[in-house]
């Protein structure tokens, strides 16, 4: 009885906080809805897709939108809508996987550099500056060309260039956090340095890490689309938004514009939604923005 009574105000307060932030950041809610729709479409692609994305039909080659093919058919008679839905699974898997790996490794390196300092921090920062001198797409192109086109290699190629940026952000936060009074108090109790770093310092870097990862999600999707457009991303027969553009942009942009419009619109919506969500999270988690 007491448990139910105690949990009631907590749940009520949580819902009030969610509703308050939803009203305060309506664009962030719109971005979250866009991302949820695409994520659900990717998870349930086999159920939502009206047709088999790999099935070809010579008679339906370049069929315009309408009827059986709601968004038209490509040059091989494959349903564009079904390939877009299954392409969301590939594109989002690459973006989420690369963001998770890049953010995780970058956070670990940034935590170590900021907390250990000394020659270790100096050496790692020089290597980080070398990596940051190259644009994300250029590094991803070099890595993908070396490893070969595949789903796993594409994730690795996009994740590695994300590590320097994340590590620099986390390092700057750790440098300020390690001088806080509660960190000094934890050390005074006899807690080991690594326990202090993991238990007291790392949790306080999660807010900027979440914001940074959300903001980078859009850039990873664009990078994956660019690699697939250049033929270095996820290979056939897996549908990818960037590959769908590369197959039709040059030859069919005039005769079958739907082959270019719908994949480009899907990429734009996901990047737009992730940017809106990232901006809202940045404002909501920033203490300076709170009343």
Determine what percent of the chain falls in helix, strand and coil, rounding each to the nearest 5.
Answer: 80, 0, 20
Q: Which one, of 32, 41, 149, lies nearest residue 89 by Cα?
A: 41
Residue 68's pLDDT is: 84
Residue 44's pLDDT is: 92
Q: What is the pLDDT of residues 248-286, one digit of tens each?
A: 767 787 888 888 889 889 988 988 988 888 888 877 776
What six digits make up the tokens of 192? Answer: 């080991």
Average predicted confidence (pLDDT) for the chain: 82
* More confident position, 253 or 59: 59
Residue 4's pLDDT is: 47
Q: What is the pLDDT of residues 168-219, one digit of tens each?
A: 988 988 888 887 888 778 778 877 777 888 887 888 888 788 888 887 887 8
Rounded Cα gap, residues 140 and 216, in angstroms: 14
Phi-psi region of 66 (alpha: psi -120 to 50; beta: other; left: phi over 0): left
User: Residues for the chain: how many in total?
Assistant: 291
* More confident position, 101 or 247: 101
Q: What is the pLDDT of residues 117-152, one digit of tens each?
A: 888 889 988 888 888 888 878 888 888 888 888 888
Q: Which one, of 259, 240, 241, lies nearest residue 250 by Cα?
A: 259
Question: What is the pTM (predicted TM-score) of this model?
Answer: 0.79
Q: Which one, of 90, 39, 112, 49, lies nearest residue 273 by Cα?
A: 39
Residue 195's pLDDT is: 81
Rounded Cα gap, residues 149 and 89, in angstroms: 17
Q: Provide the pLDDT confidence category of residue 100 given band limits of 50, 70 and 90.
A: very high
Quick check: helix, strand or coil at residue 283?
helix
Task: Answer whether 163's CB lies under 8 Å from 99's CB.
Answer: no
The domains found in the chain, sorted by start residue, are 27-49+78-289 (1.10.3720.10)
What average pLDDT does the segment 148-164 reach? 87
Q: Positive or negative CA dihedral for 197, 198, 200, 206?
A: positive
Say if residue 1's pLDDT is above 70.
Answer: no
Q: From the CA atom positions of the chain, what is the Rg in Å?
A: 23
């Amino acid at each position: 009885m007491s448990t139910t009574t105690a949990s009631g105000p907590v749940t009520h307060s949580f819902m009030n906080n969610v509703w308050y932030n939803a009203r305060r950041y309506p664009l962030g809610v719109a971005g979250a809805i866009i991302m949820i729709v695409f994520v659900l479409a990717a998870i349930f692609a086999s159920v939502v897709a009206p047709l088999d994305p790999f099935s070809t039909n010579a008679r339906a080659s370049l069929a315009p939108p309408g009827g059986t093919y709601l968004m038209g058919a490509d040059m091989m008679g494959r349903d564009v809508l079904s390939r877009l839905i299954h392409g969301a699974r590939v594109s989002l898997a690459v973006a989420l996987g690369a963001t998770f790996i890049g953010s995780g490794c970058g956070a670990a390196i940034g935590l170590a550099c900021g907390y250990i300092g000394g020659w270790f921090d100096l050496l790692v920062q020089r290597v980080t500056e070398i990596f940051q001198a190259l644009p994300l797409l250029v590094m991803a192109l070099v890595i993908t060309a070396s490893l070969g086109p595949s789903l796993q290699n594409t994730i690795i190629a996009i994740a590695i260039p994300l590590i320097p940026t994340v590590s620099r952000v986390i390092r700057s936060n750790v440098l300020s956090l390690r001088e806080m009074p509660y960190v000094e108090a934890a050390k005074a109790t006899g807690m080991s340095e690594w326990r202090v770093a993991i238990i007291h310092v790392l949790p306080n870097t999660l807010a900027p890490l979440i914001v940074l990862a959300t903001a980078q999600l859009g850039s990873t999707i664009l990078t994956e689309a660019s690699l697939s457009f250049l033929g270095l991303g996820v290979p056939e027969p897996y549908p990818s938004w960037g590959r769908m553009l590369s197959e039709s942009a040059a030859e069919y942009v005039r005769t079958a514009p739907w082959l270019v419009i719908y994949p480009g619109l899907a990429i734009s919506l996901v990047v737009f939604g992730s940017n809106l969500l990232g901006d809202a999270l940045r404002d909501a988690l920033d203490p300076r923005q709170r009343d």
